[in-house]
Amino acid sequence: MRLTLSVLLCSALLTTSAMARNTLPEESGFSGDILFGVMYTGGKSLMAAGDDDKQTLDSLEDSPDSSSKVLPALTGNLYYTFNSLVDQAYVGVSRSKAVQGQFSPELGYRRLFSKRSNLTIAYVPNLIDSDTWSDPFLTGQERDQTEAQLSVVRAKWQGIVDSPFGVEVAYGESDIEDEQSGASLNLSADEQAALQRGSRYYYIGGDITFPLARGTLMTTTLYHLDRKADGEAYSFDTFGIELGTVSSRGRHTVIANLTYESHEYDGFNPVFQQTRDDNKVALFLAYFYAEPFGWNNISYSILSSFNDRSSNIGFYEQQGLFVATGLNYDFK
C-alpha cells in the first residue's frame, strides 16, 4: 500500500487553526477550517497499486517505475464546542495525514483542560480504501488489484497536568479483501500462510515540547508500533523518533518534522529466503502566510513531504513525494 500504516496510527492533528489558536474557546458552536488547492503525489513502489503503477512484473528483481498525479485538494476540519467551553467534538482530515496520502476523516472528542493540556479520543473509520495487489509476487501477467481496509482508534493526552509531556496510544485493524499472496509460487501451505497481511496494530508514544526561541517550539516524540500480522513474515516491531518544530513570526508560520523508523520483522520470508529488515526516513515541511492581500481568516499554505523506505529485500523499497498548495479558510 502507498500509505505507511504507522503514519496513520501515530500522527496527531496538525491544522493551521489549531496552531494559530493556542487559547481556550470563548463561545460555543461550530468552528473549523477548509483548505482549497491542488496537490501533486509521486512515488516508486512495487507493492503499491493504482492506475500508474507497475501491474506486470518480469521478475521479482524488477525496479519500480515512477508514478505521479496532480489532483484538486479539498480537506478540512469541523469542530463543535459545547456550552461548557471545554468539550469539543470534531470531524476532519488532519494535514499530517493528508501529506501521507491518507484522506480518511477522523471522528473525535476532545476535553480541554487548559491552554496547553487536552485529552483526545478519536476513531478513524474505514471510509476510504487503499489499493494493493492481491498477489504482489505474480510475474509474467497483470497483477489483480484488491482493497486494503484499515480502521483505528486512538487516545492522546497532550500537556499532561500542564506539563510539557504528552502520551498517545492507538489500536488498529487492517484487512486485505482478496488475499492471495504467494498463490502464484510453488510454496507450501505453511509458507503461503506466512505471507498473510491482515493485521492488528498496537501503538504507544510519548513526546515532550519545549521552547527553542521566542515563537519557536520543538517537540521530540519516541514511539513503538507492534504489528501482529496473520502471517509471521509481515509481523514487525517499529521503533521511531520524530523531531518537529513550529516557528511563528508575524504572519509567517513554518513547520518541519523529521522522522526515522526501524522496522524489525519477526518471521522468515519464504519468497526471498530471508527475514526482512527495513528503515524509513520521512521529512515534512509546511509554510503558512496569514491574511494575504488583507483577507481576514484566510492563509496561504504550502505543504510537502518526502519519505524513503530502504530494505534488505529490494522488492519492498519505496519512495513517496507529496506537495500541495492552496488557501486555508478559518471560520468560527
**Which residue range is the domain that position 172 belongs to?**
5-331
Residues 6+ apart with CB under 8 A from 295: none
Calculate what percentage of the chain has a pLDDT beyond 90.
69
When pLDDT is averaged across residues 11-35 and rounded to a whole number, the result is 64
Residue 20 pLDDT class (50, 70, 90 cuts): very low
Please give the Cα distance from 2 to 300 (Å, whole number).
Answer: 27
Domain count, the chain: 1
**Which CATH number do you get for residue 207?**
2.40.160
- The confidence score (pLDDT) of residue 164 equals 95
Whether 224 contacts 237, CB under 8 Å: yes
> Residue 2 pLDDT more than 60?
no
> Residue 290 pLDDT more than 50?
yes
Please give the Cα distance from 37 to 327 (Å, whole number).
Answer: 6
> Residue 4 pLDDT more than 50?
no
